[in-house]
Structure formats: C-alpha cells, structure tokens
Amino acid sequence: MLPLIEIDIDPVIAHIGPFALRWYSLMIMAGIYAGTIVAARFANDRGIDPDHVYSVAAWVVGAGIVGARFVHVVDRWDLYRDQPLRVFAVHEGGIAIWGGLIGGGVAVWGYARRHRLQFWPFADAISHAAILGQAIGRLGCIVNGDVAGRPTGGDWGFVYVNPAALLPRASYFGVPTHPYPLYELVWDLALFALLFLVARSVRRPGAVFLTYTGGYSLARLVLSVVREEEVWAFGMQQAQLVSLSTIALAVALLWVRLRGASPAPVVSTTRRA
C-alpha cells in the first residue's frame, strides 16, 4: 500500500503574459512527442511511410482537444451555462479523455481514407503512441490533482495541500485521496507492454488497436470505482457506461477480425529503412 504522499506543487510552472505554462501541458507535449516517435517506428514496421504519422499527428491533437473539451463541457454544463465564453478557456483545464480518444480516432480514420491507407494497420501503429502518450500525460495529472480519487479513509494516499491544485472537490484538500492518476499510469504502461506482445504474436491487422481500445476501456471501468462522479444509470458513472459499451464493441470487432481473412498491408513506395 502507498504511504502518505503530500503534493505541494503549483500546477503552473510560470506565467508568460496572459498565458500560464502548466506541468500538465508540458507532460501532454512530452507525450505527443514520444508517442509520435514510437508510432512512426511501428508504422514503418507495418509497411507504412512514417511521414504519414508525422502528418496525421497535428490533426489527431487538434481533433482530440476539440473532442475532449466538447465532452467535458457537455458533462459539466453547470459550470459553463452562465459563462459560455469559458467554453473556449482550455488553458484553465477541463478535458474528457473519452472525447479526446473519439476525436483523435475520427482524425485517424479520415486521414487514412483521404490518403488511401488501410485503416487497421495504420490504427495499430497509432495505438502504441496513444497509450504511451496517455501514460506520460498522467504525470501531469498527478501535479494538477484534477483526477484525484475519492478519500481513502486511512493514512495513505495522495494529500494535496497546494491551494492552486485543481481538485474535483474542495473537501479533498488536505485529505488522503486515492492516487487515481498513478493507478492509470501503471495500467497504461502495462497495456503498452501488452501491445508489443500482441503485435508480435497476432499478425491480423486491427488486433493491436482493438486490444488497446478494450484494455483502456477496462481500466476506466475498473478504476473509476475510486472516483466520486455523478451516477448516470444502473449505478454506474458516465465513464463506466462508455467503457462497458466500448469493451463490447472492441471484443466483437476483434472476434470478427480474427476469424476473417487478413488483407495484405499497403506498402508505401517511400517506406524508410
């Protein structure tokens, strides 16, 4: 069990004019950089020109931010109803990971269609980048405190004492809480390692992507029990309901992919060695 860990770090590293450089933003940028490098390598291994990864990265990030912000605003409309202009204040924090994944996924699908790339091999390569980037991003969440779990009720967990921490509830300050971002970080890294094994042992295109989708959904389904979020239906939170639906879809598609014939990958004429 974790010891009592006090976190007294200002989420803002420095103010640059009207903008604030945050630890979370820094970790997101680091995750994007590391993920893109890894995805380019896996794309090359799958016969896809790595330049496609570099080209789609900006679209994935942009669509991911829009999707993540949109879902967050819809989920917490009570915070924006009276101040609609705050919807665009992304620098203040407030994104939903599911919205980001959906937005980024749509961008990958659209790019693949436009450039006549087979979606499944391309998505397989991007999956490695996504889960690695998510793991690195959770380091920023540890500082932010925005996804802190509910109180542990004991003498262990994360204790946020910096007044600038973006805790979900004011009552969490100075109270041991479940280190949710640490839980997910460990899960993400384990899933990242699992994707390597799947890529080597299962040659069917789409297996890596669907393993990533189902594996991350399982993480949200299980780990969300330590977070106090609004119950939507059947005693489950929004994230859990979405996760359950995504797991069912991922399992069904994986079953279809494993039973069907494996198409030959599209090999780019500019493939790098």
Which residues of the chain carry a pLDDT beneath 70? 1-2, 75, 86, 89-95, 260-273
pLDDT, position 261: 53
Q: Say if 208 falls within a structural domain.
A: no
Is 49 inside a domain boundary?
Answer: yes
Q: What residues make up the domain containing 125?
A: 4-197
- Given this model, what pLDDT does residue 272 score? 45
Q: Is residue 227 one of the residues assigned to a domain? A: no
> CA 210 to CA 195: how far, in whole Å?
10
pLDDT of residue 89: 67
Structural domain contains residue 238: no
| 23, 9 Cβ separation under 8 angstroms | yes
Report the sign of the C-alpha dihedral through residues 71, 236, 226, 60, in that order: negative
Residue 104 lies in a domain: yes
Does residue 192 lie within any of the structural domains?
yes
* 39: in domain: yes
Amino acid at 177: T
Q: CA Rg, the chain, in Å? A: 19
Residues 144 and 179: their CA atoms lie apart, in Å, by 12
pTM (two decimals): 0.84
pLDDT (0 to 100) of residue 24? 86
Cα–Cα separations (whole angstroms), residue 230 to 76, 142, 158, 227, 263? 10, 22, 22, 10, 44
The total of structural domains in the chain comes to 1
Structural domain contains residue 159 = yes
Pairing outcome for strands 19-22 and 12-16: antiparallel
What's the pLDDT score for residue 98?
A: 72
- Beta strands 236-237 and 231-233, pairing class: antiparallel
C-alpha distances (whole Å) from 129 to each of 33, 97, 122 are 9, 15, 11
CA gap 61, 29 in Å, rounded: 10
- Using alpha carbons, list the distances in angstroms from residue 233 to 96, 218, 225, 245: 19, 18, 14, 13
